[in-house]
Structure 1
């Protein structure tokens, strides 16, 4: 059986499952031209449901993820996108192909686009200090690690924390897994390349020098490594009994 095109499948799915929906958007990798053999269709539906929900299904050999909202529920998800700095729904609404719409959807699309343009809130000084401490912790783990298997797992954590720190201190969006790399490439392709090269150096040559140096470089403008003097919650107990 030959797969139908993504748009045909999405349109047929909407007609069969949500014929009375107000608006519908096809989003995801197929829209961005980045689809792979395992890509699914992300479809955002606006209808009269009481609460938002999501589910997965298969139609015409296409795996489909469905995100269903009403004209109020989406706001909480956009707010969550902003607070987590991971613009999942905002990107789907903004980048997606509109398959069905009413007058209200234009307003929602503009809200999502404005949110993406705004970016995330900068971390305050306390958050930066806390993140410096935890990034330093995993940096020290890698620096002292002599077990290759443990090192592989430590590096995963280091890259996640390093990417988050680099982007969030500049008010940029982040992401998980491949989305972290994409966020780095969007904001600073040179840094993304340095990080990728450092990872390749570790995996192929077991050399951690590049990752360690890059982490020091990122921490330096914020005071460098942080261990001595860091506290979390101690202030609540100052002056009290031990």
Structure 2
């Protein structure tokens, strides 16, 4: 029986470009395989720049033994995605472009990569006082639900929401990018490895033992520099 030999990531990506996008202007390989964080289920994240493409699109497929996520942009659409990613404080495309390995170069690529690098370096806009106040209120409300809940099934989902809110609050009030899923921990670690481990320990202890105190203490320590929990007196005008 013949055994398929799966090419290395860069080789597979170059073959993919030659096969599917031979006339594109530029291409990059990004994602976990580039950062040295690949797992057995990792895919190839490939960014394509092609001035002939009318609208940007994303496609998932398998080729040369690899799952591939391809992100195709023209020379206008990527700017819109850069802007939107910066506004939501999750710089997915700027990070892929700034960190990616060049598969196909052109005169347009250095300037695009510089744009991406500047966005990453600058970080997201700081929250206003009103935004911080709103987030304090939402966290307080969620924390009250967490403390008062007596139903384990409900607590699990409240804890998930609370972790997301707390990670967002810490990072945004420190002008740092946020994440979702595995990127929550990655962004917390980039910000402060010790704090990230304390954050994980608090929630891990809750999930394993049902112990809420560490999570409550973590939340209070995060909110304290901004005035602590907020309920009484909060209003929206």
Give the structure-2-normalised TM-score. Answer: 0.96
User: C-alpha distance in 2, partners of 1:20/1:2?
Assistant: 27
CA distance in 1 between partners of 2:207 and 2:133 (Å): 30
Partner of 1:44: 47
Question: Counterpart of 1:35 in 2: which secondary structure?
Answer: coil
- 1:73: Cα distance to partner? 1.1
Tell me whether 1:221 sits opposite 2:220 in the alignment: no
**Residue 77 of structure 2 aligns with which residue?**
73
1:2 aligns with 2:39: no
Counterpart of 1:54 in 2: which secondary structure? strand
Structure 2, gaps ≥5 residues long: none
Q: Which residue in the other structure is 1:18 paired with? A: 21
1:193 corresponds to which of 177, 192, 197 = 197
- Residue matched to 2:131: 127
Correspondent of 1:168 among 161, 165, 172 = 172
In 1: Cα distance, 2:150 partner to 2:195 partner: 27
**1:61 Cα deviation from its structure 2 partner:** 1.8
For residues 161 and 210 of structure 2, the distance between their equivalents in structure 1, rounded to whole angstroms, comes to 17
Q: In 2, distance between residues paired with 1:148 and 1:54?
A: 39
SS in 2 for 1:138: helix
Aligned to 1:136: 140
Cα distance in 1 for residues equivalent to 2:33 and 2:84: 25
Give ranges in structure 1 of 5+ residues lacking alignment.
236-242
Describe the superposition over 1:178-225 as per-residue Cα deviations: whole angstroms up to 9, x where unpaired. Answer: 101100000111110101111121112211100100100111111111
Q: Which piece of structure 1 moves more, 188-197 or 146-155?
A: 146-155
Q: Specify the SS of the correspondent of 2:126.
A: coil
**Counterpart for residue 63 of structure 1:** 67
Q: Tell me whether 1:99 sits opposite 2:103 in the alignment.
A: yes
How far apart, in 2, do the equivalents of 1:184 and 1:191 lie? 7
For 1:32, the equivalent position in structure 2 comes to: 35
Other structure's SS at 1:26 match:
strand
Tell me the residue number matched to 1:114.
118
TM-superposed CA distance for 1:4, in Å, is 1.3
Aligned length: 233
CA distance in 2, matches of 1:96, 1:176: 20
- Aligned partners of 2:195 and 2:5: how far apart in 1? 42
Q: Which moved more, 1:140-149 or 1:20-29?
A: 140-149
Q: Deviations over 1:14-40 (max 9, x none)?
A: 001110111000000011111111111
